[in-house]
Amino acid sequence: MGENRLLAWLDFANGVTIAGRRIDPILAAFLFVLIVSAVFLVVPQLDIWVSSLFYDAKIGFPASFIPILVALRQLNDIVLVAVIVVLVVSLIAKLVLPDRQSFVAPAASLFLLSSLVLGPGLVVNAILKNFSGRPRPIDVEQFGGNLPFVQVWHFTRECARNCSFVSGEASSAIWVVAVVLVLPLAYRARALRWALVYTVAISVNRIAFGGHFLSDVLLAWGITLLVIAVCYRLVYLQAPAWLQNERLESQLGRAGSGARKAVTSVLTGERRG
């Protein structure tokens, strides 16, 4: 995929370009969720077939015993924590040095944190995974488990919590696309390539481990991209005046100055005392 095509696909501001047509990113993500859902509702055995490619009747899902693939799964947590640490450090640095510009724009931090909390956090992990009741591949009868296979969007009580639908790790992996959206334009195409490779690797790894079905992964992508698109528009591109970057930068600067004066006052009072 050429650089221009990548940037066109990533253009959440003017509309993503798919098959030569510019489509609103919110609509594109919604249609993706709709189409994927329809396919797996009509052909539910597609999930079983894909998972069976990674299954061995004698040992289960052998990929889950390969150290490098186990490390790959752990990498997802490391990347997520690293991004959060950078955002938090940027905020603290602004409060400590209020006269300096934030090295991560406050509006970008707000967009990234809101999309992370609402997408992978709330919709995927807190709601869908805990209330869908869909057993994981490793737990269903077709792969040596004792639970029935459940289709997408069929909420049951077969699984109590942290269930298969949808994939939390695929969701947090595709969320890296949100980080790419706030990078300088010159770096976006290259960063997107790596983000997509990373997302596919993490997601296929979960299928290979018997942790998720293909539909869990694809719908996690679509739902997360939908949340990202909505947050990007409402929090970043068309934010109300009180959420715009200049206002946030100013408010953080005043908060930092106020905190510095308060600390200085306390320290001065202690010396006098």
pLDDT at 61: 97
Spatial contact of 156 and 55, defined as CB atoms under 8 Å apart: no
% pLDDT > 90, the chain: 80
How far apart, in whole angstroms, are the C-alpha atoms of residue 189 and residue 1? 10
Dihedral (C-alpha) 106, 109, 115, 120: value to the nearest 10 degrees?
A: -160
- Whether residue 156 has pLDDT greater than 70: yes
Report CA Rg, the chain: 22
Confidence of residue 14 (pLDDT cuts 50, 70, 90): confident
- Whether residue 230 has pLDDT greater than 80: yes
pLDDT at 272: 59
Confidence of residue 270 (pLDDT cuts 50, 70, 90): low
Spatial CB neighbours of 228, under 8 Å, sequence gap ≥ 6: 12, 29, 115, 119, 175, 177, 178, 181
pLDDT at 6: 75
Q: Provide the β-strand partners of residue 60.
A: 56
Can you give the pTM of this predicted structure?
0.93
Alpha carbon distance, N-terminus to C-terminus of the chain: 69
> Angle formed by the axes of helices 106-116 and 214-231, to 10°?
150
